[in-house]
Structure 1
Amino acid sequence: MERERDVLETEVLIIGAGPAGLACAYHLASAARQAGKEPPAILVIEKGSHPGAHSFSGAVMDPSGIAALMPDFRDQGMPIEAPAGNDSLWYLSASRHTKLPFTPPGMSNHGNYIISLNKFCGWLAEKTEALGVEVYPATGAFELVLEDGKVVGIQTVDNGLDKKGEPKSNYEPGTIIKAAVTVLAEGTHGSLTKQAGQRLKIFDASVNQSYLTGVKEVWEIPAGRLTPGDIIHTFGAPLRSNEYGGGFIYKMSGNLLAIGFAVGLNSPDPTNDPHARFQQFKLHPSIKPFLKDGTMLHYGAKTIPEGGYYAMPRLYDDNLLIIGDSAGFLNSQRLKGIHLAILSGMMAAETIAEALDKTDFSSAVLSGIAKRFESSAARQELYKVRNYHQGFEKGVYAGMFHIPFQFVTGGRGLFDKRHVEPDHAYMKKVGEFFPGGQKPPAMKFDNQLTFDKLTDVYKSGTKHEEDQPSHLVISDYDICNQRCPEEFGNPCQHFCPAHVYEMVDNDDGSPGQHLLLTPSNCVHCKTCDIADPYQIINWVVPESGGGPNYENC
């Protein structure tokens, strides 16, 4: 049944109040005011309960992006945890670490800042609103609205539906928001960006995107253990040699410590569990002392787009632009994306300003974002590492072999634009990966240094309305309950870092198990949508305001 919906119109609609979306709005409005003009009508909508609630990163920020957007960012009070200080890269064996005698140029953090991304986005939202931009939190964009094959806006999510999709007493149908230009700044693997790929073919000329899932905790540790600004990156244990990823430790202000681990989703292991790998990382003899007598305060998880330059989509279509993590603006060698997200937002703003002047929002004009990108420092940076992640397709040692060749060939290496499979295609079946088809036993947690997923989810501040349709849409439960247990052992219960998926005994006492979903635990990382070997999980936006409420992340 088609529901009657209100229609709201604006000139520029930006989906997502992260670094890219806010930078786009800020730059467009500030440039207009500096030129003595009234800014266009700009609306930023954010699915989180407030700007920054869903913003999550390590995070060590290259300040070049914010300096371009707001040269006096220090005077404007940008929240900084600490300037980057001592910088180390460790190789972890099973029982010890080896500190590399030098930090590779791409991983040097001199001049960078350790920040909390959720604090940064809250601050930038305030600066953006002060310029007259409207920012609507707790407003989830559910789907693109197309007319005659062109994007004309979006529909927000319906609120107040029960689990069966029937209206409750507080039902509010989603609104149609129409705009001359819609900007997708949703973050990694955004649901509307996915729709644009399916309906507008923006990824057709790209190689497959590659992802890691990063998990992180913020701890309070005893004073004096590290100096604010200390940075340690690791590779090696607890990963196998044919897997990709690593750990990090960032000393924040006061007694706060950010510690995390990122794992490639192209692992052949059907029990690949980023959360468990992180807990194992904390138990390493070289890592454990940092956390002794400390207290875990906060938790979060997100996916990271590591495919690089060749995995980026077409950045435009009629009435549409794609920026930030949604478009893959991330340097996988440097582990940096915030500055590139900001720069992408600025390029989008300049393109929109041109389109507004010409009153022409066709691809012919909006393709200006691609021209701006191709002549930008952002493109130069990404092109130099265009094959970096692909070199690690077969694991860390293969990647280390490729790095010198990429360095001397300006990023090309031994191949250029190498095709890789989607991450889920690398997963092996249980019987193929484990001799005898027997999965290893589950990890045990001590709730002092290591924590189960439910405990960590609680520390993420995640909240959803329980009585609503599942935002994890599974197209075929028979595969989950009958085929997947035999073939892959239901990997969703492993790769999800938030205990959303669980296999439980059948209620009627019959043999076997069935999948139990707990969508209210979801931290919106999108791992399931990416890593599911059957590709039958579709992540869509839940009721507005639901999800994590990150602090110091």
Structure 2
Amino acid sequence: MDYDVVIVGAGPAGLSAAIRLKQINPDLQVVVLEKGSEVGAHILSGAVIDPVGLDRLLPDWREDKDAPIKVPVTQDNFLVLGPAGHVRIPNWPMPRLMSNHGNYIVSMGNVCRWLATKAEELGVEIFPGMACSQIVWDGQRVAGVVAGEMGKNPDGTPGPNYEPGMELRGKYVFIAEGVRGSLAKQIMERFDLSAGHEPQKFGIGMKEIWEIDPAKHSEGTVTHTMGWPLGKNAGGGSFIYHAENNQIFLGFVVHLNYANPYLSPYQEFQRFKHHPEIAALLEGGKRVAYGARAISEGGYQSIPKLTFPGGVLLGCSAGLVNVPRIKGNHNAMLSGIHAAEAAAAAITEGREGDELSPYEQELRDGPIGRDLKRVRNVKPSWSRTGMVGSLALGGLDMWAATLLRRNLLGTWKHGKTDAAATGKADKFKPIEYPKPDGKLSFDRLTNVAFSFTNHEESQPSHLKLKDPTVPIRVNLPEFAEPAQRYCPAAVYEVVEDASVPEGARFVINFQNCVHCKTCDIKDPSQNIVWTTPQGGDGPNYPNM
């Protein structure tokens, strides 16, 4: 099937690009391919959204009664937690960019569902349940993708109900898969798009939705925390957003450059909920949903080259999250708009399959670049100096960028990848985590059930090992096989087995996978490769 533009991913970036293309030229043939069972099924975000992208894309969105953007932020809190209490950081010393005034608490899954209806009204074709498993190459040009391949046997051979998928070709292909997408990874490697840029850095974000006692609910309140329980073990923090209907969005982020291989981000999240203040908020409530995903944290200096022959990288595929603001959806939407305008102009000129250089220039020099440049030293300063040092240095640097329009610290580098940051097990002591109580804290398998994840078990595992011997031969003796702990969905296990020479087996329970991509990022041997399962499989988030 031939289109003017093929878009991979129905997130805020991909849908914004589709809408903008049809706004510019209603005759353009545009298709959006989404691997989730429906639009929004694989969307997980905090989320407090800065409406700058929406204002650019749909200026009258506030008059749309169907827009699921109804909770303006009314209160901003920043807390540093200790084991039993907290210190509140006043708002006045913070740069204006850190204020959430004018922003909204939203479910990005529902926002994307709404954006999809807007796109379809304009004539965009949207195909959910269509995982894009391969790139269609035309020489050195990306000419399209293969989507919808289904029905393989566990060994990878075609099964009795095998469907080979379709080639969807476009004059341009937009890659908007989200963080660490499998096609984006291939394209970046083939064209060496990261050359001359810092390595991308990541965090893992875990989120639960809770229905709480109405007496404790304060719609519009936003709270961010740092400190306990992570301490010196890792960087990160939490968010607590009071949304509609007595619900709160409770999340915990751990930077993946931590060294201790015994650390479990998921267990740190569960322990966090037992802090006296958090426990008091949750008491009498119930958890109704759970999910996890990786977050790009490298910032401006880690943005790769964004164009390649035949297409571009959008949104989190490009790494456009503003780390101190904990926001990326506005930049994702703007990136889709910029890409659409560049592609529409090229097609009008009769071009196709070349590099959309104006897109890259607009992204780096326009509002996205300005947003990310002024905060570019917050993440590396945290990695080098810790939380307190980052608050001081990062805050000073952001103030300078705001007032003087230049960063006093210049541009700090990130250095090693998150995988390379993992330390050897003999340098650390195992961490003893408390058992979940089933009221505030839960084991991973119980929580995965609240992500509504499903994978057809007869298909091949979408989690590939470059060398099947590495987990037991290398990772277990050297790193205590951290996959057992960094995965928030209990996908990976080391099982004792006297029947094999090594005495243990590495088990991959791919059915549990919530598509967070942490394994592809954090595996110290870089031996795990995340690929797409067949279309529609994975989590089915209701309103994440």
Q: TM-score, normalised by structure 1?
A: 0.94
Task: Name the residue aligned to 1:299.
Answer: 290
What does 1:461-472 align with in structure 2 at a 5 Å threshold? 461-472=452-463
| 1:211 aligned partner, one-letter code | F
Task: Name the residue aligned to 1:5.
Answer: none
State the shift of 1:443 in Å.
3.6
More displaced 10-residue stretch of structure 1: 519-528 or 372-381:
372-381
Task: Name the residue aligned to 1:389.
Answer: 379
- From 79, 91, 96, the counterpart of 1:102: 91
| 1:70 aligned partner, one-letter code | L
The DSSP-based 3-state class of the residue aligned with 1:120 is helix
The DSSP-based 3-state class of the residue aligned with 1:412 is coil
Task: Name the residue aligned to 2:39.
Answer: 51
State whether residues 171 and 353 of structure 2, in contact with CA within 8 Å, keep that contact through their aligned partners in structure 1: no
Task: Name the residue aligned to 1:351.
Answer: 342
State whether residues 141 and 353 of structure 2, in contact with CA within 8 Å, keep that contact through their aligned partners in structure 1: no
More displaced 10-residue stretch of structure 1: 458-467 or 236-245:
236-245
State whether residues 402 and 413 of structure 1, in contact with CA within 8 Å, keep that contact through their aligned partners in structure 2: no
State the shift of 1:149 in Å.
1.1
| 1:46 aligned partner, one-letter code | E
The DSSP-based 3-state class of the residue aligned with 2:5 is strand
- From 100, 109, 119, the counterpart of 2:110: 119
State whether residues 318 and 361 of structure 1, in contact with CA within 8 Å, keep that contact through their aligned partners in structure 2: no
State whether residues 377 and 394 of structure 2, in contact with CA within 8 Å, keep that contact through their aligned partners in structure 1: no
Task: Name the residue aligned to 1:90.
Answer: 79
State the shift of 1:244 in Å.
1.2
State whether residues 471 and 481 of structure 2, in contact with CA within 8 Å, keep that contact through their aligned partners in structure 1: yes
State the shift of 1:254 in Å.
1.5
- From 418, 421, 431, the counterpart of 2:416: 421
State whether residues 377 and 409 of structure 2, in contact with CA within 8 Å, keep that contact through their aligned partners in structure 1: no
- From 349, 352, 375, the counterpart of 1:361: 352
Task: Name the residue aligned to 1:280.
Answer: 271
Structure 1 unaligned segments of length 5 or more: list them: 1-7, 33-37
State the shift of 1:166 in Å.
2.1
The DSSP-based 3-state class of the residue aligned with 1:445 is coil
CA-based RMSD: 1.5
State the shift of 1:375 in Å.
3.5
Identity %: 39
Give the Cα–Cα distance (whole angstroms) in 2 for the partners of residues 307 and 242 of structure 1.
20
State whether residues 133 and 147 of structure 2, in contact with CA within 8 Å, keep that contact through their aligned partners in structure 1: yes
Task: Name the residue aligned to 1:3.
Answer: none
State whether residues 212 and 285 of structure 2, in contact with CA within 8 Å, keep that contact through their aligned partners in structure 1: yes
| 2:417 aligned partner, one-letter code | P
Structure 2 unaligned segments of length 5 or more: list them: none
Give the Cα–Cα distance (whole angstroms) in 1 for the partners of residues 165 and 58 of structure 2.
35
Task: Name the residue aligned to 2:55.
Answer: 67
State whether residues 44 and 108 of structure 2, in contact with CA within 8 Å, keep that contact through their aligned partners in structure 1: yes
- From 19, 25, 42, the counterpart of 1:26: 19
Give the Cα–Cα distance (whole angstroms) in 2 for the partners of residues 318 and 483 of structure 1.
39
| 1:94 aligned partner, one-letter code | P
Task: Name the residue aligned to 2:363.
Answer: 373
**Number of corresponding residues:** 536
What does 1:59-458 align with in structure 2 at a 5 Å threshold? 59-76=47-64, 77-102=66-91, 104-105=94-95, 106-156=97-147, 158-241=149-232, 243-363=234-354, 366-394=356-384, 395-410=386-401, 412-434=407-429, 439-458=430-449
State the shift of 1:311 in Å.
0.5
State the shift of 1:419 in Å.
4.0
- From 15, 36, 39, the counterpart of 2:8: 15
The DSSP-based 3-state class of the residue aligned with 1:423 is coil
State whether residues 83 and 112 of structure 1, in contact with CA within 8 Å, keep that contact through their aligned partners in structure 2: yes
| 1:287 aligned partner, one-letter code | I
State the shift of 1:428 in Å.
0.6
Task: Name the residue aligned to 1:4.
Answer: none
- Per-residue displacement from partner, 1:207-243 (whole Å, max 9, x unpaired)? 0111110001001111120211111100000112352
State the shift of 1:507 in Å.
6.2
Give the Cα–Cα distance (whole angstroms) in 2 for the partners of residues 49 and 85 of structure 1.
35
- Per-residue displacement from partner, 1:497-550 (whole Å, max 9, x unpaired)? 011001112162767321111101101010000000000000001010001111
Give the Cα–Cα distance (whole angstroms) in 1 for the partners of residues 498 and 287 of structure 2.
36
| 1:423 aligned partner, one-letter code | D
Give the Cα–Cα distance (whole angstroms) in 2 for the partners of residues 424 and 220 of structure 1.
36
The DSSP-based 3-state class of the residue aligned with 1:400 is helix
State the shift of 1:307 in Å.
0.6
